[in-house]
Homo-oligomer: A and B are copies of this chain.
Amino acid sequence: MRDLNYKHLHYFWVVAKEGGVNRAANKLGVAAQTISGQLALLERSLGVALFAPAGRGLALTEAGRTALSYADRIFNLGEQMLEALEDRAGEAVLRLTVGILDALPKLAAHRLLQPLMGMGKPVRLVCYEGEIDELMSDLALHRLDVVLSDRPVASTGSLRVFSHPLGEYPVSFYGVPALARQYAKGFPASLAGAPLMLPTRTNALRGKLEQWFEANDLRPQVVGEFEDSALMDTFGRQGMGLFPALSMLGPDVEAQLGALPVGELEGVREQVFAISGERRIRHPGVEAILAAAAG
């Protein structure tokens, strides 16, 4: 039973729905012998009988009933697809569906997606956020075109994904003006005992920060851990403590959060990866993003 022949399955489906080979032949516009023959081939390739003689007609076997419920769904999907494509035949807007890891800084995501707007075509951007597992499964189901992550993702047996580095960016600590002034002098040594907000351990950046503390012989006071970077930003704005963010986002951070840079963390770089589910065929939008990141 190597490969399923969908033409044969389609005949089976119509016969089952119409209630007989002759009726199906009539509906499909082919001769009854044809259907009968193809049906026999299907049964042989499946290794099970789908129909059993009943009276002078046919009745579904148990296996046939199982097959019918699948065939129903399969061919309904096929019909839906035709409708969907008929609608879309005229349209020309490019839709890019992006999954963004909760932990990834929103401003960074925004920056990375910026190149899309500079493309020739009109683009409709659809963003989802979530944890890495959800996003990966959505990627596998083609509900997402690409996922932005803070680490590369390895292909597992069932899930084949491809990670493309989008870049690595220096990281700085930021804080409200009062805090920033207080700890800027003598940075990074000044951080000893400073109130810090850090991402949780599920975030790749967390490990790098720990290493940096180790290397600089610092033991800061952690006042909060955040899964979602947007939440951390909000608390940072209230002056809860110093928080890490990309150095290049200085102007944005100041404008949106009223926080100033305290100092850059030497050797610490936040990495960003674009994870795609395709080996090489690329979404024009994803291509634009990768090109902009590389250039």
Task: From B1, B7, B47, B80, give the contact of A6 (CB < 8 A).
Answer: B7
Q: Is A60 an interface residue (CB 8 A)?
A: yes
A57 contact set on B, CB distance < 8 A: 280-281
Give the residue name and chain of the B residue nearest to A142 (CB).
B69
Q: Given the complex of chains A and B, what is the CA–CA distance between A278 and B58 in angstroms? A: 12
Task: From B4, B54, B287, give the contact of A81 (CB < 8 A).
Answer: B4
Give the residue name and chain of the B residue nearest to A95 (CB).
B62
Q: Interface size (A, Cβ < 8 Å)?
A: 62
Digitize A262-295: 1 where CB-to-B-CB distance is under 8 Å, 0 elsewhere: 0000000000000000111111100100000000
Q: Given the complex of chains A and B, what is the CA–CA distance between A71 and B20 in angstroms? A: 29
**Whole-angstrom distance between the Cβ of A137 and the nearest chain B Cβ:** 13
A62 contact set on B, CB distance < 8 A: 88, 91-95
Give the residue name and chain of the B residue nearest to A279 (CB).
B19
Given contacts A6-B10, A69-B142, contact A280 B20 (CB under 8 A): yes
A19 contact set on B, CB distance < 8 A: 278-281
Residue contact B48 to A88, C-beta cutoff 8 Å: yes
A1 contact set on B, CB distance < 8 A: 82, 86
Given contacts A287-B54, A287-B59, contact A66 B89 (CB under 8 A): no
Q: What is the interface of chain A, defined by CB distance below 8 A to chain B?
A: 1, 4-7, 9-10, 16-20, 23, 46-48, 51, 54, 57-60, 62-63, 65-74, 77-82, 84-86, 88-89, 91-95, 141-143, 145, 278-284, 287
